[in-house]
Amino acid sequence: MALVRMRGQLKKLAADQSEHEVGGATVADVLRALEQDHPALAGWVLDERGRIRRHINVFVNGERAAEEAAVGPEDRLDVLPAISGGAK
């Protein structure tokens, strides 16, 4: 099972737990499984198309990763809002 770490609003939606052990072969699989465990997260990280929202970053073992990136049982996923600003 991969370890998923979240903070802030996402943590609150996931039973106020910052760390979760979740199964799945890809980033998308893991995030979908996380939504199954915590339905309040649905739509917050992945949109309806199954894509990671534009201003959310997912890192696998510290490397930014896309939806189709492979995930192993020993991997660590960090789900973080992107650093953005200037225009808003």
Partner 1 sequence: MSELVVGTKKGLFVLGGEPGGPFEVTARAFAGEPVECAVRDRRSGRLLAGMTSPFYGPKIFFADDPNGEWTQAEGVALPEGGEKALERMWVIVPGEADGLLYAGGDPGVLFESRDGGATWQLNQALWEHPTRDRWQPGGGGLCLHSIVPWPGEPDKLTVAVSAAGVWHTEDGGASWERGNDGLKPRYLPEAPPDDAPQEEDDHEIGLCVHRLDRAPKQPERLFMQFHGGVYRSDDAGRSWSEIGEGLPSDFGFPLVVDPADPDSAYVIPLTADMDRVTPDGRVRVYETRDGGSSWSPRGDGLPAEHAYLTVLRRAFDRVGEGDDLELYFGATSGEVFGSGDAGATWATAALRLPPVYSVTAS
> What is the contact surface with partner 1 in residues (CB under 8 A)?
9, 40, 43-45, 47-51, 53, 55-56, 81-82, 84, 88
**Burial of residue 11 (number of CB atoms within 10 Å: 0-12, 13-18, 19+):** middle
| Residue with Cβ nearer partner 1 (41 or 75) | 41
| Residue with Cβ nearer partner 1 (23 or 50) | 50
| Residue with Cβ nearer partner 1 (48 or 63) | 48
Spell out where 1-88 has E strands.
2-6, 19-22, 56-60, 63-64, 76-81
